[in-house]
Structure 1
Amino acid sequence: MTGSARTDAPETPEPVLLRTEGRAAYLTLNRPGALNALNHVMVRRIDEALTAWEHDPAVRTVVITGAGERGLCAGGDIRAIHDDARDGDGAASAAFWRDEYRLNARIARYPKPYVAVMDGIVMGGGVGVSAHGRVRVVTERSRIAMPETGIGFVPDVGGTHLLGRAPGELGTHLALTGIPVGAGDALLSGLADHFLPSESLPSFVADLAARPVADALARHEQRPPRAPLADQRTWIDACYAAGTVEEIVGRLSAHGDPEAKEAAETLLAKSPTSLKVTLAAIRRARRLGSLERVLDQEYRVSCAALGSPDLVEGIRAQIVDKDRRPRWSPATLAEVTDVDVERFFAPLGDRELGLGGAGAEEDRR
């Protein structure tokens, strides 16, 4: 974490701030007390702004940043999802994801440069509103992750598409463990494009009002820091190429590298069901190809997760009670059957997201 934004700060009246200056339009996620976590209102306002700016000839570039000093966005409002899954029928969460995933697809194909300033914490839904953009900037403070397996969920917002395309098995490692990575590893994994020191961000963002993106980048971009995962590729690629999560854990445990053994221990603390569904989702995403088709799959998986006991339990343990002692059900990998996994990918009939139908535009990344 960076900065010291208070978590008990009052809710900001405007959760998304919009302004235009010169050739740029600026979108600021503005819930710093909640680390700019996304809710349904915010998703809708972002989408409305993108519509207006797409048709405004004065706007040449769109820039997204996060208010406060801690990060761009910590993800979706998972406390609301917890309450909906526990006490409601899941309809509110499904409606939120429907609009959120459509927004993710829109960002990926937005016709104007979409510049995402991925400073500080960028997790879950924060990755969805940034890593699909055309220009993705990280800093020495960036901490980027898809930590869903730790709360009984599965990477979404196009995360399985992004991680499925990472070199070798890096994406599988990041998806299953949920570990955060810094700037160097984000660049290595294909989650970002450019490194800027955080002290340059105010000048860079201001320059975009007067200069094309390439010119602004040329003034501020610097050599990125090293990527620690590059030195771990040997055991990552060998271990995560296994056919099952059980075999992955076995290979990691048996490997001589201490970091491989640590990864095995990390996996064994995650939801067994989430691990198996995530591995299947990553591998299916590679075959699906386009972002739209992957988002359709993720929507099926997310809706199915609402009926899984691990989602409510995982959020309870990590966010609500914060005892960090989730009681997963089933409790072991061996107890999660192929039938259990397949249930998450079952068609939704008339409730399908429907982005990847005939004629769906291919993702440009």
Structure 2
Amino acid sequence: MDKTSNVWQSETIGRGQSKVERNNTQHKYRNLRIRRCNFDDDDDVLFEEKNNVGIITLNRPKALNALNLSMVKKLYPKLIHWQNVDRKDLVIIQGAGGKSFCAGGDVVTITRNGPAKGAEIGRTFFHHEYSLDHLIGHYKVPYVALLDGYTMGGGVGISVHGKYRVATEKTTFAMPETTIGLFPDVGGSFFLPRLSHKSLGLYLALTSYQLKGKDVAKCGIATHYIPSQSLPDIVSKLIETPKCVEDILKSNSESLESYKFSLSSNIDTIANAFSAPTVEQIVSRLEQKNDEFSNKTLTTLKKMSPISMKITQKQLKLGAGKSLTECLQMDYRLACSAVEAKSSADFYEGVRALLIDKDKSPKWNPPTLEQVTSYMVDQCFELGPNQDLQFNH
């Protein structure tokens, strides 16, 4: 959990040093947001075209390539153009800096001024972000994401739904949203229940556990595993013969058939505990197991937002039977409920504690699982005003 926190904090520091924020601290936040929406950072995403291959580089290395509205608003129309007008043979997306593919989304901008302003900002950001995720999930051009470094939250959304996802020894995957009072969004309700091991997705979602390197491919989040030092050569081959993407990735990937998943010794405990019908019963089963892994997991769960955990458990259960489109629409309703503080303001409190004040002592409300009622959870799933997300690509 500490490593995840440090990544989120690094992302915040990068945003905190932006020129817009330094020069406009005396202005109202609305003016700051408008300037950002007008694409202040011209080079936060770089686009290249070679041999009918589109190459995207997320270019905020000091912020670990964290995804903001400016980037999303550049990515979406370019991908549409490459698909429908230029008709590219292949699209490759990567992160600049050598440390991170994309470490998450810009949650600080949404939350820093509370629900009164955060609701509108959040609805706008998540609408654009989830529309981008949906486009990638239904993209007609072969799409290769190079997950060479941190791949978390929003970074997962712009990669995991694409056809090809390449992990390396530098890959660190996590969905850390329950740490900040949110839920595994960006289609997490779609891909997490479909991982290779029973209940692994819910375990990852509730604990924010980090998977690294070969584990990311072994459980199905990545489709291929290739050493980081080989990526420049792989990219060159893909550009040279883009229509051979399948053969190039397959012939250069390491076989993981004999690789032992790092959680394999605890996978039965995960399957038993996290298949329980309620979060309280998950806790109870871990307490009954009472071994080192279970006790460590319990310690982690006690740090998470109680209402976030209950929302997440229901979200993934429903998502197992939904399409990606339906999952993203459900995620949008949940995201709107979070930014509107419909049942709880834990999203604002979690971001404050981990990323703004950095005291790492969130005051969750409700503070316990027992105090989170079914009504509080259920109303977050209901369709409210301005919460209907439709896709038009």
Q: Partner of 1:327 in structure 2? A: 363
Once the two structures are TM-superposed, the CA of residue 96 in structure 1 deviates from its matched residue by 1.0
Q: How many residues align?
A: 354
Amino acid at match of 2:303: A
Give percent identity, aligned residues only: 37
Whole-angstrom CA distance in 2 between matches of 1:84 and 1:196: 42
Q: Partner of 1:74 in structure 2? A: 103
Whole-angstrom CA distance in 2 between matches of 1:246 and 1:186: 28
Once the two structures are TM-superposed, the CA of residue 348 in structure 1 deviates from its matched residue by 2.0
Q: In the alignment, which of 210, 215, 218 is matched to residue 185 of structure 1? A: 215
Report the secondary structure of 1:17's partner residue: strand
Report the secondary structure of 2:55's partner residue: strand
Q: Partner of 1:226 in structure 2? A: 260
Whole-angstrom CA distance in 2 between matches of 1:84 and 1:353: 25
Whole-angstrom CA distance in 1 between matches of 2:287 and 2:98: 38
Q: In the alignment, which of 247, 250, 264 is matched to residue 215 of structure 1? A: 247
Q: Is residue 84–residue 90 contact of structure 1 (8 Å, CA) maintained in 2?
A: no
- Shift in alpha-carbon separation, 1:196–1:111, aligned structure 2, 3 A: same
Once the two structures are TM-superposed, the CA of residue 84 in structure 1 deviates from its matched residue by 4.9
Q: Is residue 84–residue 93 contact of structure 1 (8 Å, CA) maintained in 2?
A: no
Q: In the alignment, which of 27, 37, 40 is matched to residue 69 of structure 2? A: 40
Once the two structures are TM-superposed, the CA of residue 165 in structure 1 deviates from its matched residue by 1.3
Q: In the alignment, which of 291, 299, 305 is matched to residue 257 of structure 1? A: 291
Once the two structures are TM-superposed, the CA of residue 294 in structure 1 deviates from its matched residue by 0.7
Whole-angstrom CA distance in 2 between matches of 1:351 and 1:315: 22
Amino acid at match of 1:298: D
Runs of 5+ consecutive residues of structure 2 not aligned to the other structure? 20-40
Q: Partner of 1:136 in structure 2? A: 165
Q: Is residue 146–residue 155 contact of structure 1 (8 Å, CA) maintained in 2?
A: yes
Once the two structures are TM-superposed, the CA of residue 354 in structure 1 deviates from its matched residue by 3.0
Report the secondary structure of 1:72's partner residue: strand
Whole-angstrom CA distance in 1 between matches of 2:131 and 2:153: 15
Q: Is residue 17–residue 29 contact of structure 1 (8 Å, CA) maintained in 2?
A: yes
Whole-angstrom CA distance in 2 between matches of 1:86 and 1:57: 41
Whole-angstrom CA distance in 2 between matches of 1:229 and 1:338: 32
Map 1:318-357 → 2, pairs under 5 A: 318-349=354-385, 351-355=387-391
Q: Is residue 254–residue 261 contact of structure 1 (8 Å, CA) maintained in 2?
A: no
Amino acid at match of 1:213: V
Runs of 5+ consecutive residues of structure 1 not aligned to the other structure? none
Give the TM-score of the pair, scaled to structure 1.
Answer: 0.92
Give the TM-score of the pair, scaled to structure 2.
Answer: 0.85
Whole-angstrom CA distance in 1 between matches of 2:187 and 2:323: 10
Whole-angstrom CA distance in 1 between matches of 2:118 and 2:150: 31
Q: Is residue 147–residue 165 contact of structure 2 (8 Å, CA) maintained in 1?
A: yes
**1:287-314 deviation line (CA, Å, top 9, x unaligned):** 2x20000111110111101113211110
**1:22-41 deviation line (CA, Å, top 9, x unaligned):** 13110011111111111111
**1:165-204 deviation line (CA, Å, top 9, x unaligned):** 1231000100111111113332233211100001111111
